[in-house]
């Protein structure tokens, strides 16, 4: 028996290992083939002379993998300038659309038409939903397209994304029916949402670092066992197709601000059928942008000329949008900024001898007075006067630790939150996703 180890570039998931091993094992005399993404190597055991590098390259005429006589470095920076440029262009486009004023222009409520919810979903798909779910699709699209080594026809590349969308439609329709039937009693707590977002964010960061070629993380396997992947063979099996369906189904646990606005309308609809219609129309609106993201990712990752640059560019974008989502969830930037601004005392007048009234106005995603000082032990009646219905996650307001139930903005209808702060400290006024509206300091 003879054993030889070669260097391999181009592997980015466990499916790549399975593809390489399957093709190499078909060579005459090869007894065993072991691909290792973490080490960037292929070890071949054969009864006679092992195949040379040129013969291995011929096994992959599409050029997705390149072999060398010695192991190669797991990280290469030769395309850094191009990659950074592409990533910055996409990030600039994202912020440009967000700052255009287009997104807040469309507001919805339980009486809006299903067409309005479709357009609302379309806006979500090119903004916050693109950041939250689109980055997940971008990270997974290369794995969904890998059973054939990236050489599938367009229809085969489209199929897993349609299964993913079908999973989203099923979960959103189910959630809409439950919300319409049971109202606010079926609502994920902010704590549950936060934990889910953190867990998915960590997963996406690992995937992104692997896409960038950060070899120490390649040992972390986020994939099916290799023996299951081996069964996929050269075609896309039913098992392979169904993997995106549960992934899409679970995205209901990752609501962006637009999604929470649609959920609020479903709650207020009063009937399960209308709730189903609202959420289904919304999720259909998100489909075109997400399909475009996923298919472009699968197409570019399958071309030899663009595969490596795409992988690193996509990795940078996934990292950016993951950090963006974490900041949106926990209001990190807003909290840092609030520390540098001295707190303002909001004038108030007592409703009774023991109750203090605090008033503010909400409009255009901000509060007229954003910082307040209260005393521990005093009863407070916090009144917010909405001048519009808000948009995205900024259509709701809550004060974690003082008032944990999100209150949804409705133009002209004051929101009243009555509470008694017991503990001294700083409390964030936030939207339902954690983005800061303002700060309350209890002394």
Residue at 75 is within a domain = no
pLDDT at 344: 40
Q: What is the reported pLDDT for 20?
A: 84
pLDDT digits (tens, 9 = 90+) for 166-207: 999 999 999 989 888 876 455 555 555 566 567 666 766 776
Model confidence band, residue 416 (pLDDT cutoffs 50, 70, 90): very high
The CA distance from 102 to 98, in Å, is 7
Mark whether 383 and 438 lie in a shared domain: yes
Does residue 342 share a domain with residue 324? no
Distance CA 328, CA 162 (A): 28
The winner for highest mean pLDDT among 99-113, 126-140, 221-235 is 126-140
Q: What is the pLDDT of residue 382?
A: 92
User: Is 289 a member of any domain?
Assistant: yes
- Parent domain of 10: 2-68
Which of 303, 330, 357 terminates a domain? The answer is 330
Q: How confident is the model at residue 114 (pLDDT cuts 50, 70, 90)?
A: confident
Q: Express as a percent the part of the chain with pLDDT over 70.
A: 55
Residue 352 lies in a domain: yes
* CATH code of the domain covering residue 429: 2.60.40.420
343 and 422 inside one domain: yes
In a domain, 74, yes or no: no
User: Based on the structure, what is the number of domains in the chain?
Assistant: 3
95 plus 119 within the same structural domain: yes
The region of weakest confidence among 213-222, 229-238, 304-313 is 229-238
Same domain for 248 and 394, yes or no, is no
Domain end (from 39, 68, 97): 68
Angular region, 108: left φ>0, alpha ψ -120 to 50, beta rest: beta
Same domain, 299 and 281: yes
**Statement to judge: residues 177 and 290 lie in one domain:** yes
Does some domain include residue 360? yes
Same domain for 218 and 109, yes or no, is yes
Regarding whether 280 and 231 lie in a shared domain, the answer is yes
Q: Is residue 260 part of a domain?
A: yes
157 and 260, same domain (yes or no): yes
- 186: in domain: yes
- Chosen domain end from 280, 309, 330: 330
In a domain, 101, yes or no: yes
What is the average pLDDT across 209-224? 58
Quote the pLDDT of residue 234. 39
Q: Is 264 in the same domain as 200?
A: yes
Residue 52 belongs to domain with CATH number: 3.30.70.100
Do residues 86 and 224 both lie within one domain?
A: yes
Q: Which residues pair with 6 in a beta bridge?
A: 42
Cα–Cα dist 234/253, whole Å:
33
Q: What digits encode the pLDDT tens for the residues 345-363?
A: 343 444 455 788 888 898 8
- Is residue 210 pLDDT above 60, yes or no? yes
pLDDT at residue 174 in the model = 93
Three-state SS sequence of the chain: CEEEEEEEECCCCHHHHHHHHHHHCCCCCEEEEEEECCCCEEEEEECCCCCCHHHHHHCCCCCCCEEECCCCCCCCCCCHHHHHHHHHHHHHHHHHHHHCCCHHHCCCCCCCCHHHHHHHHHHHHCCHHHHHHHHHHHHHHHHHCCCCCCCCCHHHHHHHHHHHHHHHHHHHHHHHHHHHHHHHHCCCCHHHHHHHHHHHHHHHHHHHHHHCCCHHHHHCCCCCCHHHHHCCCCCCCHHHHHCHHHHHHHHHHCCCHHHHHHHHHHHHHCCHHHHHHHHHHHHHHHHHHHHHHHHHHHHHHCCCCCHHHHHHHHHHHHHHHHHHHHHHHHCHHHHHHHHCCCCCCCCEEECCCCEEEEEEEEECCEECCCEEEECCCCEEEEEEEECCCCCHHHHEEEECCCEEEEEECCCCCCEEEEECCCCCEEEEEECCCCCEEEEEEEC
243-296 confidence digits (pLDDT tens)? 788 888 888 876 665 677 677 778 777 788 988 999 999 999 888 888 887 777
């Amino acid at each position: 028996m003879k054993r030889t180890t070669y260097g391999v570039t181009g592997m980015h998931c466990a499916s790549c290992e399975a593809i390489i091993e399957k093709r190499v094992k078909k060579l005459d005399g090869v007894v065993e083939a072991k691909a290792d993404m973490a080490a960037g190597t292929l070890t071949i055991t054969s009864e006679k002379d092992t195949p040379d590098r040129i013969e291995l390259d011929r096994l992959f005429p599409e050029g997705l993998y390149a072999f060398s006589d010695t192991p190669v470095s797991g990280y290469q920076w030769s395309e850094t300038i191009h990659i950074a440029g592409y990533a910055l262009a996409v990030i600039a486009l994202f912020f440009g659309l967000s700052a255009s004023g287009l997104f807040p222009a469309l507001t919805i409520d339980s009486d809006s038409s299903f067409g309005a919810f479709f357009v609302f979903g379309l806006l979500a798909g090119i903004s916050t939903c693109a950041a939250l779910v689109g980055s997940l699709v971008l990270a997974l699209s290369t794995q969904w397209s890998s059973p054939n080594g990236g050489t599938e026809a367009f229809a085969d590349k489209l199929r897993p994304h349609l299964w993913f969308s079908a999973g989203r439609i099923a979960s959103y329709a189910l959630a809409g029916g439950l919300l319409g039937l049971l109202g606010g009693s079926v609502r994920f707590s902010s704590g549950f949402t936060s934990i889910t977002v953190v867990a998915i964010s960590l997963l996406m960061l690992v995937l992104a670092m692997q896409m960038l070629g950060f070899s120490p993380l390649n040992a972390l396997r986020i994939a099916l066992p290799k023996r299951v992947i081996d069964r996929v063979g050269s075609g896309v099996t039913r098992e392979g197709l169904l993997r995106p369906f549960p992934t899409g189904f679970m995205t209901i646990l990752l609501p962006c601000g637009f999604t929470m606005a649609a959920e609020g309308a479903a709650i207020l609809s009063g009937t399960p059928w209308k709730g189903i219609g609202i959420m289904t129309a919304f999720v259909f609106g998100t489909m075109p942008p997400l399909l475009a993201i996923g298919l472009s990712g699968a197409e570019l990752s399958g071309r030899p000329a663009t595969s490596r640059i795409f992988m690193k560019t996509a990795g940078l974008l996934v990292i950016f949008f993951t950090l963006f989502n974490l900041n949106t969830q926990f209001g990190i930037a807003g909290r840092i900024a609030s520390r540098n601004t001295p707190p303002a005392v909001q004038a108030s007048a007592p409703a009774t001898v023991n109750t203090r009234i605090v008033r503010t106005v909400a409009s255009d995603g901000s509060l007229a007075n954003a910082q307040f000082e209260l005393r521990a032990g005093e009863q407070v009646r916090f009144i917010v006067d909405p001048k519009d219905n808000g948009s995205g996650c900024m259509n709701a307001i809550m004060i974690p630790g003082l008032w944990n139930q999100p209150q949804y903005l409705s133009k002209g209808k004051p929101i009243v939150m009555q509470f008694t702060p017991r503990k001294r400290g700083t409390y964030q006024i936030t939207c339902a996703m954690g983005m800061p509206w303002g700060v309350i300091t209890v002394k």
